[in-house]
C-alpha cells in the first residue's frame, strides 16, 4: 500500500489547476509526487508537472467529507396494542 501524501503534498495537489491538473511547487515536492505516482513531468518544454488519474482521485478524496454519516435511527411508532409487522430487510 502506498503512503498517503504529506501535508505539503496535499496542499500542492489541492492548488493544482482544476481543469488541466497543472501543478506548481518546489522541485522536491513535484519530484516526490512523481515518485508516488500522483503526478508526471511532461516530456516537452517547459516540462510542467501534471496530476495523474491517481492524483485527481487523491484531490477529490481530500475534498470529500470524512466518511459517510451514520444513518439516523428510524422512528418506531408507539405501541397501540396492535401488532405491526416490519417489512423489508
At 27-71, the pLDDT tens digits run 999 999 999 999 999 999 999 999 999 999 988 887 776 666 667
Bond preceding residue 46 cis, omega within 30 of 0: yes
Count of domains observed in the chain:
1
pTM score, whole prediction: 0.67
The CATH number of whichever domain residue 52 belongs to comes to 1.10.10
* Domain-embedded: residue 46: yes
* Domain-embedded: residue 79: no
* 8 Å CB contact between 49 and 40: yes
Per-residue exposure over 43-60, b if at least 16 CB sit within 10 Å of its own CB, e if not: eeeeebbbbbeebbebbe
* Domain-embedded: residue 41: yes
* Domain-embedded: residue 14: yes
- Predicted confidence at residue 36, as pLDDT, reads 93
- Predicted confidence at residue 69, as pLDDT, reads 67
Which residue range(s) make up the domain with 44?
7-63
Amino acid at each position: 500500500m502506498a503512503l498517503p501524501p504529506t501535508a505539503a503534498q496535499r496542499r500542492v495537489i489541492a492548488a493544482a489547476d482544476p481543469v488541466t491538473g497543472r501543478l506548481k511547487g518546489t522541485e522536491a515536492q513535484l519530484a516526490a509526487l512523481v515518485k508516488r505516482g500522483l503526478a508526471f513531468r511532461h516530456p516537452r518544454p517547459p516540462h510542467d508537472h501534471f496530476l495523474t488519474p491517481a492524483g485527481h482521485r487523491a484531490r477529490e478524496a481530500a475534498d470529500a467529507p470524512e466518511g459517510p454519516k451514520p444513518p439516523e435511527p428510524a422512528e418506531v411508532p408507539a405501541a397501540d396494542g396492535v401488532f405491526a409487522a416490519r417489512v423489508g430487510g
